Structure 1
């Protein structure tokens, strides 16, 4: 199976370096230097597994590309490349649908590890467990990788799906941020724990009746989160 990666980066030297190293890691890389080109190539290659998107671009920036891809139903992985270091900018990328972010200047080894971890997460693997998990109004179909609430499908990214699956497999059990990071991002992930909190916030917006007063994913203060169903 082809392991397709989309790389959006307007600086040719950085893009070429990324492409070379990702190809060495066994990926088929689709390049784009503008947001407009990235969207065109995404629509022509809907089997892309992971998209690496630079944020600071002329015209359509990386945030807009991510939003457009999510609006078009893209559910695979998105990693944002950003030269910005402010926490708010990182959160903005995640809230716009990204799964991870890497701050420039970055180590290619680190980025490759992030891509590998995200690819393993979103590409899935054959399931050995039962096909469906039910909890309250939710039904998680493991083979279709879809979630229904009161019979209505909820569109989730693969990371959001992974979090929900982790919770629904551990109903009533408090899960620490470290445990969630291991379960969803994998033990090779080298990022920050903050990414767990931001994705939980995004997941709550999609599944809770009132995200400000969550009744399903509750916070365990000083520890992590728990699924109450």
Structure 2
């Protein structure tokens, strides 16, 4: 478990007819790094890992899709907010949120809040999964969901014991805070819901694995060995 600070990368150009969002975000105590184009954005994320990337395509006079795709390839688990001009396509798989300009700074802050951990907020990290211990937000490979209290306990329990098989009875007692073991189908349903929150394909889970009839475990990719 570690404390995270909110580093935001914003890709934005200069336009005489509108102001930059960087200044407003800095005044709100975010650590903001601004770059003027997609190439600089890719170079930055190769060495640093921001909590959030904002692609202000409206200020760049571009659709922003190529920039989002290039950044997504480098940091697939980092949320991206894309800002576009009114009338442009507002559906794009590589952006977690799309905002249509014009809008207020407060609206941008409201969209940023679910993705960014403020100073002092404890987070639990296991592989590509990050769990906000105060707000119950879970982030994994670009997906960001706020968990119910019971799903939060389930996610936290699995993350605290990565790779370890946890018996169904133990999970049930932990989630329902009881010594009585009830209908296990309730546990299975909660596992299914949690998979929908973090897995790319919940029917073929990459992280939350089942040992049939025994329990569940969190399967994380091995870190490459240093040469």
Give me the TM-score of the superposition, normalised by structure 2: 0.52
Counterpart pick for 1:120 among 93, 117, 122: 117
Task: Give 2:98's aligned residue.
Answer: 101
Change (3 A) 1:91 1:208: farther
Structure 1 contact 7–15 (Cα < 8 Å) conserved: no
1:157 matches 2:160: no
1:8 matches 2:5: no
Q: CA deviation at 1:53?
A: 0.4
Q: Distance in 1 between matches of 2:29 and 2:84?
A: 24
Question: Which one has a bigger Cα radius of gyration?
Answer: 2
Change (3 A) 1:9 1:36: same
Structure 1 contact 8–53 (Cα < 8 Å) conserved: yes
Q: Distance in 2 between matches of 1:28 and 1:143?
A: 21
Q: CA deviation at 1:146?
A: 4.3
Q: Distance in 2 between matches of 1:146 and 1:107?
A: 32
Change (3 A) 1:36 1:72: same
Q: CA deviation at 1:107?
A: 0.8
Task: Give 2:90's aligned residue.
Answer: 90
Give me the TM-score of the superposition, normalised by structure 1: 0.52
**Normalized per residue, which structure has more helix?**
1
Counterpart pick for 1:68 among 46, 67, 70: 70
Task: Give 2:132's aligned residue.
Answer: none
Task: Give 1:77's aligned residue.
Answer: 79
Question: Any gaps of 5 or more consecutive residues in structure 1?
Answer: 128-141, 148-154, 174-179, 181-199, 210-229
Q: 1:145-224 maps to which residues of 2 (within 5 A)?
A: 145-146=127-128, 156-160=140-144, 172=189, 206-208=201-203
Task: Give 2:179's aligned residue.
Answer: none
Task: Give 2:20's aligned residue.
Answer: 17
State the secondary structure of the residue aligned to 1:102.
strand
RMSD over equivalenced CA pairs, Å: 4.3
Q: Distance in 1 between matches of 2:14 and 2:30?
A: 20
Task: Give 1:132's aligned residue.
Answer: none
Task: Give 1:133's aligned residue.
Answer: none
Change (3 A) 1:90 1:36: same
Report how many aligned residue pairs link the two structures: 159
Q: Distance in 1 between matches of 2:13 and 2:39?
A: 12
